[in-house]
Amino acid sequence: MSIPLVPGLLRDHLRELSERDERVDGRGRLEGRPLEVEVNPIERAEGSARVRMGDTIVYAGVKFQIMTPYSDRPDQGGLMTSAEIRPIAGRNWEPGPPSEESIELGRVVDRGIRESGCIDVNKLCILPGEKAWQVIIDLHAISDDGNLFDAFALAAIVALRNATLPAERFDVGEDERLELSCTPIMCSYHKVGGRFVYDANGEEELGGDERIHITLGDDGHVHSLQKGLRGAFTSEEFNDIMGAARARREELMQLVESLEQD
């Protein structure tokens, strides 16, 4: 991504708004943008989701392949997450091999899902040492107006929860739903004008400092953290956003559960 010049004016403006406890688009500090989630919009994918948060729009698609298990784990399948920010997503995204930004995005989303253990890799084994399922999550941004992290993570978990193992197509049994044992959900906070805000938009990201991504599973368990970009924060600041993330995860969980398809 080519980084545009950050006008000092924008940073000053964000600082002034912050001092008045306001945000550039009128939201409260911990308020998210309007959220829309569509389940299985992609007919060719085995599970998919489209997430819109304000003017940020992303898709996640789940595909399954048959793999040979690794020799040190003959009874386990695999999981791969890949994020690609194609130049359709915005003026500053450029064509070419995956940028550092998109690699970080894919890896942070991957860690939240992987470490939560929501996918039991042992259950992905078809024939020990010979055949196992590989789950591939592809994240595809269409419109980037900030906070691709949360949009990708939400799209990924909704796509997984609504995915079907295409066993009949690979001649290894009957099609069945992918089982998940828990639901990791990411909440991201960005320091803008000297304080952390939830779900930063593109303008806030451009004029902001460091960001923190928190992935929480069931029963309050923490599964992944990532601090990105330049800036330092205190323990008190972290405790504040961790508390906010716990509350927000419950709201998002209700949304995710309301979307289940038969």
Partner 1 sequence: MGGYGDVQMLNEDGTRMDGRRPDELRKIEIEVGVVPVADGSARVQWGTNLAIAAVYGPMEAHPRKISRQDRCVLDVRYNMAPFSVTDRIRPGFNRRSREIGKVTANALESVVQLELYPRSKIRVEIEIMCAEAGTRCVGLTAASVALADAGIPMTDMVVSVASGKVNGVVILDLNKEEDNYGDADLPMGILPNSGELVFLQMDGDLSPEDFQEAWDYNMGAAKEIHEIMVAALAARYGGDD
What's the closest the beta carbon of residue 225 comes to partner 1, in angstroms?
27
Scan residues 12-41 and list those touching partner 1 (CB under 8 A).
41
Residue 110 as a binder of partner 1 (CB under 8 A): the answer is: no
The label of the residue with tokens 């779900």 reads 199
Amino acid at 234: T
Q: DSSP letters of 149-173?
A: HHHHHHHHHHHHHT-EE-TTTTTSS
Candidate segments 62-70, 111-119, 184-192, 221-229, binder of partner 1 by CB under 8 A:
62-70
How far is the C-alpha of 118 from the C-alpha of 135, rounded, in Å? 12
- Helix count (H) and strand count (E) of the chain? 5, 12
Residue 95 as a binder of partner 1 (CB under 8 A): the answer is: yes
Candidate segments 52-60, 113-121, 171-179, 254-262, binder of partner 1 by CB under 8 A:
52-60
Q: Which two tokens stand for residue 162?
A: 């609504």
CB nearer partner 1, residue 90 or residue 184: 90
Q: Phi and psi dihedrals of 165, rounded to 5? A: -70, 120
Residue 43 as a binder of partner 1 (CB under 8 A): the answer is: yes
What's the closest the beta carbon of residue 1 comes to partner 1, in angstroms?
13
Whether 154 contacts 253, CB under 8 Å: no
Candidate segments 16-24, 94-102, 209-217, 251-259, binder of partner 1 by CB under 8 A:
94-102
Q: Which two tokens stand for residue 202?
A: 């593109």
Scan residues 118-177 and list those touching partner 1 (CB under 8 A).
136, 138, 140, 142-145, 169
Residue of 10, 35, 42, 222 that binds partner 1 (CB under 8 A): 42
Scan residues 205-224 and list those touching partner 1 (CB under 8 A).
none
Instruction: For 104-140, give the secondary structure using H, E and C.
Output: HHHHHHHHHHHHHCCCCHHHHEEECCCEEEEEEEEEE
Residue of 15, 63, 107, 246 that binds partner 1 (CB under 8 A): 63
CB nearer partner 1, residue 49 or residue 216: 49
Residue 202 as a binder of partner 1 (CB under 8 A): the answer is: yes
Candidate segments 90-98, 149-157, 179-187, 229-237, binder of partner 1 by CB under 8 A:
90-98
Which of 110, 67, 92 has the alpha carbon at shortest distance from 5? 92
Burial of residue 65 (CB within 10 Å: 0-12, 13-18, 19+) is middle
What's the closest the beta carbon of residue 150 comes to partner 1, in angstroms?
17
How far is the C-alpha of 249 from the C-alpha of 71, rounded, in Å? 38
Residues that bind partner 1 (CB under 8 A): 41-45, 48, 55, 57, 59, 61-63, 65, 82, 84, 86-91, 95, 97-98, 136, 138, 140, 142-145, 169, 202
